[in-house]
Amino acid sequence: MEKNITGIVLSGGQSSRMGKDKALMKVGTKSIIEIMIDKLKPFCNEILISADEIDKYSQFRFKVVRDKFKNSGPLAGIYSSLLESNTEKNFIISCDLPLVSQNIIENLTTTESTKEIILPVTGEKYHQLCGVYSKSVLENAESILSAEDEKGRSKEKEKRGKGEGEKGGMKRNTSVKRLLEISQVEFVDVTSISGENEFLNMNTVEDFELIRELLL
């Protein structure tokens, strides 16, 4: 199979509900991020890891991309990784979704579409952090991030002027949903080929325990 697609694993979340870096938590002998990378390898000619702490992830020997916009959520990781990608098509997946199967990945990466983004749908729910993103969305992503970054800087400056100081930077309103609203999106119904827990989001220790049971 000809591969002309970059795999991007988003690992830059704060993991606040988990209490530790969820991408590095282990199932058996492999970390979650290694499990994700192994799933992507058959379909991608290059793999990038989106994460701010380069030292933590350099052990996996793939290029680690830091966010160019801080405190801006997954969209910043998507934007920064697409900038570094050498291919037009990119399969992006969050490390929060370790149960997504290679069957789903193959289905999405082989879907023929002229749309900028291809996302899976199960039931009536779409999954925005698991899909094919074209580099053509970079302009839209940058416009969202730049506008919110400027607003965020103004608010932080105002707070400092009032003597409130900074507390780790303010969260920007830079949701991926906003990118979808101004981009061309192909929604692919994968309900018939997805498992019951395929898109289970790993946020808590309880989620991880269930995912570990299902993966082992």
SS3 labels along the chain: CCCCEEEEEECCCCCCCCCCCHHHCEECCEEHHHHHHHHHHHHCCEEEEECCCHHHHHHHCCEEECCCCCCCHHHHHHHHHHHHCCCCEEEEEECCCCCCCHHHHHHHHCCCCCCCEEEEEECCEECCCEEEEEHHHHHHHHHHHHHHHHHHHHHHHHHHHCCCCCCCCCCCCCCHHHHHHCCCEEEEECHHHCCCCCCCCCCCHHHHHHHHHHHC
Which band of pLDDT confidence, cut at 50, 70 and 90, is reported for residue 169? Answer: very low
Q: What is the CA radius of gyration of the chain?
A: 17
pLDDT tens-place string over residues 64-114: 999 999 888 899 999 999 999 999 999 999 999 999 999 999 999 999 999
Average pLDDT, integer, range 3-23? 78
Give the predicted TM-score (pTM) of the model. Answer: 0.86
Q: In this structure, is residue 49 part of a structural domain?
A: yes
How far apart CA 13 and CA 24 sit, in angstroms, is 12
Residues ≥6 apart with Cβ < 8 Å to 181: none
Structural domain boundaries enclosing 35: 5-136+185-215
Which band of pLDDT confidence, cut at 50, 70 and 90, is reported for residue 125? Answer: very high
Q: In this structure, is residue 62 part of a structural domain?
A: yes
How far apart CA 73 and CA 77 sit, in angstroms, is 7
Q: In this structure, is residue 77 part of a structural domain?
A: yes
Q: In this structure, is residue 42 part of a structural domain?
A: yes
Say if residues 176 and 129 touch (Cβ distance below 8 Å).
yes
Average pLDDT, integer, range 169-175? 51
Q: In this structure, is residue 79 part of a structural domain?
A: yes
Name the more confident of 3 and 89: 89
Say if residues 103 and 199 touch (Cβ distance below 8 Å).
no
Q: In this structure, is residue 52 part of a structural domain?
A: yes
Beta bridge mates, 26: 31
Predicted local confidence at residue 16, as pLDDT: 59
Say if residues 117 and 132 touch (Cβ distance below 8 Å).
yes
Predicted local confidence at residue 170, as pLDDT: 37
Average pLDDT, integer, range 125-142? 96
How far apart CA 73 and CA 170 sit, in angstroms, is 11
Name the more confident of 166 and 133: 133
The enclosing domain of 71 has a CATH number of: 3.90.550.10
Q: Which two tokens stand for residue 113?
A: 């579409």
The proportion of the chain whose per-residue pLDDT surpasses 70, expressed as a percent, equals 83
Our count of domains for the chain comes to: 1
Q: In this structure, is residue 150 part of a structural domain?
A: no
pLDDT tens-place string over residues 52-63: 888 889 888 899
Predicted local confidence at residue 156, as pLDDT: 52
Question: Taken in order 70, 205, 210, 29, is the CA torsion positive or negative?
Answer: positive
Q: In this structure, is residue 174 part of a structural domain?
A: no
Predicted local confidence at residue 2, as pLDDT: 57
